[in-house]
Structures are given as C-alpha cells and as structure tokens.
Amino acid sequence: MSLDTLPAPANPQLTSDSAPGRAVTWLAIRQVRRGALIIVGLAAGMTALVAATHAQVMADPAAAGSLRALAGNPAIRTLFGAPVGLDNAGGFTVWRVGTVIAVLLGAWSVLATTRITRGEEDAGRWDLLLSSRLPAPAVLLRHLGPVMVVNAATATAITAVLLLSGTEPAGALLHGAGTGLLGMFLTAVAAVSAQVFPARSPATGAAVAVLGCGLLTRMIGDGVTGLGWLHWLSPFGLLSLSGPYVHNRVLPLLLLAAATALITVLTLTAARLRDIRDGLIPAAPGRRPRTLLLDSAETFAARRVSRPLTGWLIGVGAYYLVIGLTAVSVTEFLRDNPALADGASQAGFDGLGSISGFTATLFAILAMPAGGFVTVRMAAFVTAETDRRLTLLASQPITRTRLIGAELAVTALAAAVLVTGAGLATWLGVTAIGGELEADAALRGTWNILPLVLLSLGAAVFAVGWTPGWTMLIGGLPTTGGFLLLVTAESVAAPDWVRDLSPFAHLAPVPLTEASIGAPAVMLATATILTVLGVAGYHRRDLRS
C-alpha cells in the first residue's frame, strides 16, 4: 500500500500537538500520585493536630510563661527555630511543626523530581518520549508540573486547616504559601541538578545537600544573633523571616518565588544544551575500571550502599553533634522552667531536665531517619530491578534468596553503623561543652532503637516480596507511622490501647533507664517473620520490568 492511500486516522485528536503533551503529563501524575496523597495528608494532619492542642497548652499560665521564655534560649532557637507568636494557635503551630513539614515536603520534592526525570532517563524510558514531537524542555516541564502542583496542594491544605482552626487569615496564607514555595524551590533545584549531573545518584545528592545546607544555615542564624543575616541566604531562613502571624512579611517569599522561577528557567535552558543520558558535567571518559567489591553478591551490595551510607552518616551525624553541643543549655533551661518539663512528661518525654533524659528522647527520634534509610535502600533495590540493572546479576548462578539476602544483611549492617555514628556524634558534642555523658551510655541509647529499625526493614522486605510498588509506604509504617501515631494519641488523650499500637510506646528511655528485653524481643520476632515472608514472596514472583 502506498502512503497516499493510507486511511485517515479514526480520531483526528490523536494527531494533534496537544495529545503527546497530555499523555506525558498524565504519566508524570501517575508516577507521583501515591506520594502526593501521603505528603499532603501528613502536612494537613500534623497542622490540624498541633493547632487543636494550643488552647490546652496555653490554658496553664505557667506553661504559657515558659513557652515565651524559649525565645531567650539560643539552643532552643537553634534546634527548633525562633519561637514567636506563641500566644496564638497559628504562631504556635508554625513553630512546632512548620520546619518539620517544610523538610518533609522538600525531601519528597527532591526525591520525586530526580526519580521521574533523571531516573527515568537513565533507565531508557525517556527515549520513546523524546522521539515524539515534544522537545526535551517540554517533556521536562510536563514532569515538573505535577510535582509543583503537589507543593501547591500542600500549601492549600495547610492554609485551609489553619483557617478552619480560626487563626488569622493573613498568617495562614503566608505560612501555607511559604511552605509550598519552599517545596517548589527544592523541586527546581533537583531539576537543575538532574541536568547538570550525568546520573540520578549525584543529582539527588546535590539537591539534598542544598536542603541540608539551607537548614543548617537557618539553624546558625537562629542560634547566633550576630549571624541573623544568614537567613537571607537560606530558603528555610526566608520562611522564618516572613514571620507568619507576627510580622507577615511578603518580601522574603517574593525572593523565594523569584529564585524558584530563575532556577526553573535555567533548568529548561540546560535541557536544551545537553544530550540525552548526559549532563552538563559529563561522566569522566576513559577512567580506570573500578572492580573493588565485585567478587560476590554480598560485596556488590556493600559497594552499592557505601555512598548513600556516607551521605546519611554525614547528615545524621551533623544533626546529633548539634544535639550534643546544645544538650547542656537545653537541660538547664528545662530545669529552670518546670512547667515545660511537666508538659513534656505528660506527652511521654520524661527526664528532659537531665542530659541522659534529653538524649534518650532524641535517640528515640533517631529511629525515624534510620528507618527511612533502610526503607530507601530496599526501595532502591526494587528500582534497580525495575530498571533491569539486576537482570544480568539474577541470571548468574545465584539464587534469588541469596540476592535479596545480601541486600538485607548489608542494609542491616549499614543501619547499625548509622546509629552508632549518631551516638558517637552526640557523645562528642556533649563532651566538648563539658557535659556528662559516657560514650557507652550514648551507644546504648542509639543501639536501643535498632530493633525498631529492623522492624521497619522487615516491613520493607515484606513489601519487596509481595507489593513492590508500596515498599516506601509499608517500610515507613513502623517508624514514621508509629511516631505519628504516638504523638497523635498523646495529644488527643486516646485510650491506652491506641497508644500501645505504636512501637515507640514500648521503647525504654535509654540511657536514662536500662534497656528492656520484652518489647525489643517482640519487635525482632515480628521483623524476622516479616523478613521470612518477604524473602519467600520475592523467591516465587517474577522480576519486575
């Protein structure tokens, strides 16, 4: 049949220029929809929870006075930000969870952006997209759009919750808009990193480094009065300068929006200048083969985890070093303000007036980043399988059980290294300022959370075997989900059986007290069962493609 005799398409819309664009947009939406629902729900739920508890906290005059005294303590400002506007529910909510939500949204935006752009391109799945009539900048923009929309939806949810809580409209709009803009800024940073670097891993690392440096810069600006000008150099600092419910400044957010727009333009320009599967910084040509740790499945798993572990160790270690450096100041402040210490005790955080009690509380929270680390590693294992990077390895005379067992063992060992590093960093910080915390006490405190971290690892392995697409969500349930459940149950005075559903409710506050045996044994047994079931599921199912 000659070309001039071909029948016309049945649906002329399929040949329009907008059809490929809509298809690419819907593809990007499908790739981020699950994470979007989770992050928007978390942001709205945490905001509503804290706003609802403000009246109860401020009902006690002693507690209200203690909260206002927080502004005078540099250590408190360094860790949690400058506490301003605590006399109203909006300002109290911004101080309590504003930074936490911003970090969660920013981290999700970075990971989602590099995954659906650089990650998909590295896997070769953008080859077909770029063979259409859409140029590379258009494909990139249609992938960034849904992530930006999620940030806007999060901002809208936060604003709506604060308005429904009866807070001042101007402050609610400013706080919601600032949080959304910060997510958009980090989305743009991740996108430009994906154009600069020739692979997903360094692109993600660079964007996460921007997030971490921005948070650290804000902490220094809050803790050292003479360095307050550093706020203007950090996206988190610009959020703080906007001062929702107190100052209501718009200029810092306008600067953040301008920076986001500028970086987005640079991203689209860079997309025009580089080749597919390459970066503005090309991979080093002709480098010598790196054959270290390629002898077996186990050593190869160790090789894959070494770089991510280094990055996590630096970030977590730096935070717990700051915890150690501020421990003496914080505990002295809490001893001078018993109302705050009593309120923390009622919320389940006992002994904050002593260094051992303060570090025990922060060590319990360490379970969340450590649990996040093991979950991310198992999700990366699933991604390597989906991207066919494990195909050749699986075709070797290596059983499937050994393959996932190597990943499991190396990830568990890496988690132990991570929590050990956090314990040593805390001990170093406390010792540097003349506080009393023995090294073995700090290590016992961090090792105490390992059963909970392994429970999270077991849940992630179970997901890898049976529901690979839900690995991140299921793996995070014991740690992140458990902590949120505990905080929610304590805040709304839920029945004891609801609180006991959280693994955190059964963690002994080490080194304030001695470690228990029963609860960790139950966690380890549950983790073992989940791991066995997950390995069995992985052994029987086909490789994903």
One domain for residues 95 and 223: yes
One domain for residues 159 and 267: yes
What's the chain's length in residues? 545
Q: Which of 1-15, 56-70, 367-381 has the highest mean pLDDT?
A: 367-381
10 in any annotated domain: no
Task: Give the DSSP H/E element, type plus range, for residue 524.
Answer: helix 518-540
Residue 384 structural domain: 295-545
Read off the pLDDT of residues 94-134 as tens digits, 9 standing for 90 and up: 988 899 899 999 999 999 999 999 988 888 888 888 877 88
Percent of the chain beyond pLDDT 90? 51
Read off the pLDDT of residues 269-294 as tens digits, 9 standing for 90 and up: 999 988 888 888 877 665 676 777 77
**270 Cβ partners below 8 Å, 6+ apart?**
192, 195, 196, 280
CA 249 to chain CA centroid, nearest Å:
28
Cα–Cα distance, 545 to 543 (Å, whole number)? 7
Cα–Cα distance, 13 to 448 (Å, whole number)? 61
13 in any annotated domain: no
pLDDT at 431: 93
Cα–Cα distance, 426 to 447 (Å, whole number)? 13
pLDDT at 220: 84
Cα–Cα distance, 388 to 127 (Å, whole number)? 16
Q: Give the number of other Cβ atoms within 10 Å of residue 311's Cβ.
A: 16
pLDDT at 13: 46
pLDDT at 488: 78
CB-facing half-sphere around the CA of 389: CA atoms within 13 A: 14
Q: Is the pTM of this model over 0.95?
A: no
What are the distances in angstroms from CA 97 to CA 226, 231, 492? 26, 19, 17
pLDDT at 417: 97
- Among 3-17, 356-370, 445-459, which is the least confidently predicted range? 3-17
| Cis peptide bond upstream of 338, omega within 30 | no
Tokens 């400002």 correspond to what residue? 77
CB 382 within 8 A of CB 475: no
CB 256 within 8 A of CB 185: yes
Read off the pLDDT of residues 371-384 as tens digits, 9 standing for 90 and up: 999 999 999 899 88
One domain for residues 301 and 271: no
Model confidence at 355, pLDDT cuts 50, 70, 90, reads confident
Tokens 């987005």 correspond to what residue? 264
Quick check: 79 pLDDT over 90? no
**Which of 18, 208, 31 lies closest to 120, judged by CA?**
31
**Stretch 144-170: mean pLDDT, rounded?**
96
Task: Give the total number of structural domains in the chain.
Answer: 2
**Which of 194, 23, 25 lies closest to 113, judged by CA?**
194
One domain for residues 332 and 234: no
- Reported in sequence order, the residue ranges of 64-171 that DSSP labels E, i.e. its strands, are none
CB 377 within 8 A of CB 308: yes
Cα–Cα distance, 383 to 92 (Å, whole number)? 40
Residue 390 or residue 247, greater confidence: 247
pLDDT at 1: 39
**Stretch 414-442: mean pLDDT, rounded?**
94
Model confidence at 3, pLDDT cuts 50, 70, 90, reads very low
Quick check: 386 pLDDT over 90? no
Of the candidates 276, 310, 340, which is a domain's last residue? Answer: 276
287 in any annotated domain: no
Model confidence at 458, pLDDT cuts 50, 70, 90, reads very high
One domain for residues 261 and 377: no
One domain for residues 304 and 241: no
Tokens 């930000």 correspond to what residue? 81
One domain for residues 261 and 391: no
539 in any annotated domain: yes
One domain for residues 259 and 346: no
Model confidence at 207, pLDDT cuts 50, 70, 90, reads very high
pLDDT at 60: 63
CB 221 within 8 A of CB 227: yes
One domain for residues 137 and 269: yes
Quick check: 322 pLDDT over 90? no
The full 3-state SS of 49-87, as one line of letters, equals HHHHHHHHHHCCHHHHHHHHHHHHCHHHHHHHCCCCCCC
351 in any annotated domain: yes
Of the candidates 210, 243, 276, which is a domain's last residue? Answer: 276
The three-point CA angle 372-110-216 to 5° equals 75
5 in any annotated domain: no
283 in any annotated domain: no
One domain for residues 250 and 341: no
What are the distances in angstroms from CA 472 to CA 111, 148, 456? 12, 21, 10
Cα–Cα distance, 426 to 446 (Å, whole number)? 10
Cα–Cα distance, 100 to 81 (Å, whole number)? 11
Percent of the chain beyond pLDDT 70? 88
What are the distances in angstroms from CA 445 to CA 340, 437, 440, 508? 23, 11, 9, 9
pLDDT at 67: 61
Of the candidates 213, 248, 276, which is a domain's last residue? Answer: 276
One domain for residues 313 and 172: no
One domain for residues 257 and 313: no
Quick check: 6 pLDDT over 50? no
**Stretch 136-141: mean pLDDT, rounded?**
92
Quick check: 344 pLDDT over 60? no
290 in any annotated domain: no
